[in-house]
């Protein structure tokens, strides 16, 4: 068994206080986004929704080893997947395609359920091949019996596949991380989930500050004109700061190499995730993924999870292949 998390005297409250302090900073950053007009009412909505999320998130982390906490988080991920698939469908519709919201949601939910059962060592109850098979039937059979024009059948089914796999796997790896119980340290899953969010979000904050203050050299002007290499540097520095907080207060047995490697890995994965989603939005001619259903004051789901969708599998791969945690 890995000794990566071997710190039996660490108190759960340390895990919570650092995140609360960070959340207040992040809420302020998001509320003062330079691309949006300052709006006191919008600020209050953003702060209130952030507080609600923080209370719920920290409560689930505190009780992370209990079945109800894991099921509740699974339910939140399922809700996020549903809204995210809808945003894919709306972007596709704007381009003249007709993705199947129901089939994409079935695919995403099935993958999430598989990841949850995997954590309970019951993955054979819902194997991934069965999820993909049922999802394929839902996607392709529904298209066969649809009365819509078949000119866009291939692209529409492709977008449906992408939506189900992207959200199912990206959010499913969050559930897989959370499903870890006690290894050599209690509540391992909650610690890993906190590490994921803190490292990625501090990276986003670093990118915002560095890009706004020093940004001159464009990173990918065709995809996202406002992103710069200076923002990337700030992102990585923020990732390292987040990883350092996790090492010293949550996962104290991380080595300095672990700290830097995980920070860079999640930083690069998060940046790629952001760029990928930006390319999709640009192809659809939309500025953000908001289509009428959102986190109050924070926009669409895809805009909020784009970095996490790539970073969660990267973190899982690191702890699995480097430290043998399974």
In a domain, 174, yes or no: no
> pLDDT tens-digit profile of 152-182?
888 899 999 999 999 999 999 999 999 987 6
In a domain, 70, yes or no: no
In a domain, 63, yes or no: no
> pLDDT tens-digit profile of 306-318?
999 999 999 999 9
Which structure tokens are listed for 135? 């999802």
- Residue identified by tokens 């709306």 is 90
Q: What's 195's DSSP letter?
A: H
Name every residue whose Cβ is closer than 8 Å to that of residue 241 and which is 6 or more positions away in sequence: 202, 206
Q: What residues make up the domain containing 311?
A: 1-7+186-326
3-state secondary structure 55-97: HHHHHHHHCCCCHHHHHHHHHHHHHHHHHHHHHHHHHHHHCCC
Rounded to an integer, the average pLDDT of 283-287 is 84
In a domain, 311, yes or no: yes
In a domain, 284, yes or no: yes
> pLDDT tens-digit profile of 54-75?
888 888 888 888 899 999 999 9
pLDDT value at residue 5: 45
- Output the DSSP codes for 118-161: HHTT-GGGS-HHHHHHHHHHHHHHHHHT--S-GGGHHHHHHHHH
Quote the radius of gyration of the chain (alpha carbons, Å): 20
> pLDDT tens-digit profile of 224-278?
888 899 999 999 999 999 999 999 998 888 889 999 999 999 999 999 999 999 8
Give the phi and the psi of residue 234 in degrees, each rounded to 5: -65, -35
> pLDDT tens-digit profile of 15-65?
444 444 444 444 444 434 444 444 566 667 667 777 888 888 888 888 888
In a domain, 194, yes or no: yes
In a domain, 278, yes or no: yes
Give the phi and the psi of residue 226 in degrees, each rounded to 5: -85, -10
Work out the pLDDT band at 101, boundaries 50, 70, 90.
very high
In a domain, 264, yes or no: yes
Tally of domains in the chain: 1
- Distances in whole angstroms, Cα of residue 48 to Cα of each of 51, 131, 298: 5, 37, 11
Name the pairing type of β-strands 224-228 and 218-220.
antiparallel
Q: pTM value? A: 0.83
Q: How many helices (H) and strands (E) in the chain?
A: 10, 2
Query: How many whole angstroms separate alpha carbon 64 and alpha carbon 239?
Result: 24
């Amino acid at each position: 068994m890995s000794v990566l998390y071997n710190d039996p005297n660490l108190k759960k409250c340390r895990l919570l206080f650092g995140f609360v302090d960070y959340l207040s900073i992040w809420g302020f950053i998001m509320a003062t986004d330079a691309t949006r007009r300052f709006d006191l009412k919008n600020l209050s909505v953003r702060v209130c929704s952030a507080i609600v999320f923080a209370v719920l998130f920290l409560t689930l982390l505190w009780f992370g080893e209990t079945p109800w906490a894991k099921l509740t988080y699974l339910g939140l991920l399922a809700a996020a997947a549903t809204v995210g698939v809808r945003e894919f469908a709306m972007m596709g519709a704007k381009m003249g395609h007709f993705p199947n919201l129901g089939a994409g949601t079935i695919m995403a939910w099935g993958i999430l359920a598989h990841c949850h059962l995997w954590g309970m060592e019951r993955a054979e109850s819902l194997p991934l091949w069965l999820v993909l098979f049922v999802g394929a039937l839902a996607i392709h059979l529904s298209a066969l019996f649809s009365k819509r024009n078949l000119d866009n059948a291939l692209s529409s089914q492709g977008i449906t596949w992408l939506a189900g796999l992207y959200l199912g796997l990206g959010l499913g790896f969050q559930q897989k991380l959370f499903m870890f119980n006690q290894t050599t340290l209690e509540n391992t899953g909650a610690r890993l989930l906190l590490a994921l969010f803190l490292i990625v979000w501090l990276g986003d904050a670093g990118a915002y500050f560095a890009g706004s203050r020093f940004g001159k050299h464009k990173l990918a002007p065709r995809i996202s004109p406002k992103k710069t290499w200076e923002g990337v540097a700030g992102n990585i520095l923020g990732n390292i700061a987040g990883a350092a907080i996790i090492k010293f207060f949550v996962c104290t047995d991380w080595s300095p190499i672990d700290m830097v490697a995980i920070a860079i890995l999640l930083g690069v994965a998060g940046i790629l995730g952001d760029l990928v989603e930006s390319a999709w939005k640009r192809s659809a001619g939309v500025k953000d993924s908001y289509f009428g259903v959102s986190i109050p004051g924070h926009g669409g789901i895809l805009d909020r999870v784009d970095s996490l969708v790539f970073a969660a599998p990267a973190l899982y791969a690191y702890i699995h292949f480097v430290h043998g945690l399974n």
